[in-house]
Amino acid sequence: MRLHVADHPLIAHKLTVMRDENTESPTFRLLVDELVTLLAYEATRDVRVTQIQVTTPVATTTGTHLAAPRPIVVPILRAGLGMLEGMTRLLPTAEVGFLGLQRDEKTYEAITYANRLPDDLSGRQCFVLDPMLATGHTLVAAIDYLLEKGARDVTAICLLAAPEGLRTLDEAIGERGDVTIVTAAVDERLNEHKYIVPGLGDAGDRLYGVVD
């Protein structure tokens, strides 16, 4: 597993405003969208391409085109939906699949409740959107699911990560796939409730409000 922390002043600035508990949902949603686009730029650095011939108004030249099969973007419901537009802005031709995973607040394990993905992901580059890599259980479940469907090249884009979650993911995935984590920051730790510290709270609630 590879880890890429996107060290950029604009990313740090947006993340700082998002951390502020006084930042309201509309601003938070806008900042997530902008931050994901910046992270997506880093995450797609190794996206597969092919060369094609194009004719400009002046001459014929060799250009670059995204290779087939198209990449697939997989937001983890529900908070991952807030990252989808920022990602597809950079990869508009990508297909979009969905995974519904939620954390059991007693065991902190991930529970799958919905999925909408192709049956065969062989040869596909997969980009998973999950705002918070905390315990790592949700992302492990998501990547396991993709690997079971034949994927081998998986990049997860997270706003924040905790050291505990990174260790869990590294131990669980091992050498079974080519997995990269792209994040804006790796924070200090998890607290007793398994929230990232200093973190930014519950990303889903801050995006969409509290839903009982």
pLDDT tens digits for range 158-211? 999 999 999 999 999 988 889 999 999 999 999 999 999 999 999 888 888 765
Specify whether 19 is catalytic. Answer: no
DSSP state string for 104-132:
-TTT--EEEEEEE--S--TT-EEEEE-SE
Q: Which of 33, 28, 37 is nearest to 8 (CA)?
A: 37
Specify whether 206 is catalytic. Answer: no
- Token representation of residue 9: 């002043």
- Per-residue pLDDT, 209: 76
pLDDT value at 113 more than 90: no
CB atoms within 10 A of CB 92: 8
Specify whether 212 is catalytic. Answer: no
CB atoms within 10 A of CB 32: 23
Catalytic pick among 70, 78, 103, 152: 103
pLDDT digits (tens, 9 = 90+) for 124-173: 999 999 999 999 998 999 999 999 999 999 999 999 999 999 999 999 99
Cβ–Cβ under 8 Å, residues 160 and 36 = no
Catalytic pick among 20, 46, 120, 202: 202
- Per-residue pLDDT, 175: 85
Q: pTM (2 decimals)?
A: 0.90
Give the percent of the chain with pLDDT over 90. 76
Specify whether 202 is catalytic. Answer: yes
Catalytic pick among 55, 60, 62, 107: 107
Q: Which of 134, 178, 138 is nearest to 159 (CA)?
A: 134
* 182/158 Cα distance (integer angstroms): 6
